[in-house]
Amino acid sequence: MYQFTIWRLTLLVATTISISMEISSNAAERPNVLFISVDDMNCDLGAYGHPLVQTPNLDRLCRMGVRFDSAYCQQPLCGPSRASLMTGLRPDTLNMHTLAHELRQKNPDVVTLGELFRNNGYFSARSGKIYHYGNPSMIGTDGNDDPSTWDEKHNPVGIDRSQQENITRYGAGQEKNKNLGISMAWWDPVSEDTDHTDGMVASRVIEWIHEKKDEPFFLAAGFFNPHCPYVAPRKYFDLYPMSEITIQDLTLAKDDLLDVPPMAVQRDMRNWPYYFKDVTVDEARKCKQAYYATISFVDAQVGRLLDALSKNDLLEKTIIVFWSDHGYFLGEKGLWYKRKAFERSARMPLIVAAPGYASGKTSRKPVELLDLYPTLADLCNLKAPDNLEGQSLRPLLRDPNHYAWDKPAVTQIWHSKKAWGYSIRTQRYRYTEWMEGKAGRELYDHQTDPDEIRNLAESDSHQQEVARLSEMLRPYVRLPDAKRESIPSR
């Protein structure tokens, strides 16, 4: 017993010394952060095992860090998702559920992620889109930016914005004078990467890397692709012959929706399939090709950023985070875009490479975008606000499948006072309630049904699981009264 006690005390002292040394070392080195954002990117990536989509630079980043296979946004809509990530607070806490520019109006005292770094002596700057921008309408402006977050900002304009008249548009209502923020549209100019907004974004961040290599920095590269319209240099389109682009059979797609509550797809059924009236299957395939092209285009820009860090001997001094604001449908179930509670919309890529932590590893534990704020504060030894609602990913960066990580991921949908819902994702199940269950429920077993084809919510054999997940979800349902309207039980 005495020897066991001595062993425990020795282990405790050794662990304490190790942690203290790590904290002291990290505090002295003050790691940089390269914060890479993409817009509307799903997990159709070579880096995530997709057989067609080429992402050699994201593959490279995965070898440097941890790929999170079960990462989820808090709301699959740019504005609230990005505000949530940048504050570490859920959309309900912020009272932000739309694309309105209202972060400081509703939360004047919030300390944003970049602001935290500024307050601690870091140079904080962004090029491109980090907070919400109407894409492409707000390219070249500040959009819904938060000035307190940055020391410097950069709003480039490329041919994807300045030459919109060359973009091909599909579907009824897609006239030339209509904004392209929601569109089935593409363009493949013979052009250089740096002719495009995202190429310019990368160039400015590379300049900052060179300029600020001797001081701690938080640099945000906010890429607008692969958000529609899908515009990239032709060489990236050439990577994806149309003969290789497939799309789900529409009969099977419609069958997938037979057991889904109407509210789950109410925005998508008016002109089903593909959202706009009179879009053909071949036109949808062309847009899917273009979407893949823009992914490879962005991947090339990520490679430029990694090369810049390497050239300046900063790879071992910089935490690199790659994230998208939500997922995206490309014809699955006959659907397009985001703003749905399905896995395809709520899940997005997340890669974190932190020097001294795991590399070339994959985590299948559910995590959330709002976990990034406490993670970066933790890794950089910064005192974060006490009200953050995420959790540091440090344990998973050490051991990507840490046994004690059991936090679920919660995604919410808000269309109007009469149409909203919440979805909870555990390692095995996705469970969704519309209007607290009054407008329907969904339960999918991802162990046997990763494409969410069979809704088990009404299955007699799954009622115990429904009850358990409903109870787990309840504390997260905090929609402000002004944004909700009750409906009678069915």
DSSP 280-316: -HHHHHHHHHHHHHHHHHHHHHHHHHHHHHHHTT-GG
Identity of the amino acid at 234 = R
Q: What is the pLDDT at residue 177?
A: 60
What are the boundaries of each domain within the chain?
30-409, 411-483
Residue 302 phi/psi, 5° resolution?
Answer: -60, -40
By the 10 Å C-beta count (0-12 exposed, 13-18 middle, 19+ buried), 268 is classed as: buried
Cis peptide bond prior to 31, omega within 30° of 0: no
By the 10 Å C-beta count (0-12 exposed, 13-18 middle, 19+ buried), 445 is classed as: middle
Q: Which fold has domain 30-409?
A: Alkaline Phosphatase, subunit A (3.40.720)
pLDDT over 60 at 244, yes or no:
yes
Q: What is the pLDDT of residues 284-326, one digit of tens each?
A: 999 999 999 999 999 999 999 999 999 999 999 999 999 999 9
pLDDT over 70 at 274, yes or no:
yes
What's the rounded Cα separation, in Å, for the pair 357 and 65?
Answer: 7
Lowest mean pLDDT, pick from 13-17, 211-215, 485-489: 13-17
pLDDT band at 23 (very low <50, low <70, confident <90, very high): very low
pLDDT band at 114 (very low <50, low <70, confident <90, very high): very high
Q: What is the pLDDT at residue 25?
A: 41
pLDDT over 50 at 15, yes or no:
no
Which SS3 state, helix, strand or coil, does residue 221 take? strand
Cis peptide bond prior to 229, omega within 30° of 0: yes
Q: What is the pLDDT at residue 176?
A: 65
> If residue 12 lies in a helix (H) or strand (E), which one and from where to where?
helix 2-29
CATH 3.30.750.24 given to domain 411-483: no
Evaluate whether 271 touches 277 at the Cβ level (below 8 Å): yes
What's the rounded Cα separation, in Å, for the pair 174 and 176?
Answer: 7
Evaluate whether 150 touches 123 at the Cβ level (below 8 Å): no
The owner of tokens 């997990």 is 43
Q: What is the pLDDT at residue 490?
A: 54
pLDDT over 90 at 2, yes or no:
no
Identity of the amino acid at 45 = L
Q: What is the pLDDT of residues 57-105, one digit of tens each?
A: 999 999 999 999 999 999 999 999 999 999 999 999 999 999 999 999 9
pLDDT over 60 at 419, yes or no:
yes
Q: What is the pLDDT at residue 60?
A: 98
Average pLDDT over the chain, rounded to an integer:
94
pLDDT band at 174 (very low <50, low <70, confident <90, very high): confident
Mean pLDDT of 41-57: 98
pLDDT band at 468 (very low <50, low <70, confident <90, very high): very high
| Whole-number CA gyration radius for the chain | 23
Evaluate whether 98 touches 79 at the Cβ level (below 8 Å): yes
DSSP 139-172: TTS-TT--GGG-SEEE----HHHHTGGG-EEEST
Q: What is the pLDDT at residue 178?
A: 75
Catalytic residue ranges? 78, 132
pLDDT band at 384 (very low <50, low <70, confident <90, very high): very high
The four Cα atoms 97, 387, 124, 76 give a dihedral, to 10 degrees, of -30
Mean pLDDT of 471-490: 87
Give percent of the chain with pLDDT exceeding 70: 93
Give percent of the chain with pLDDT exceeding 90: 91
Q: What is the pLDDT at residue 489?
A: 58
pLDDT over 60 at 231, yes or no:
yes
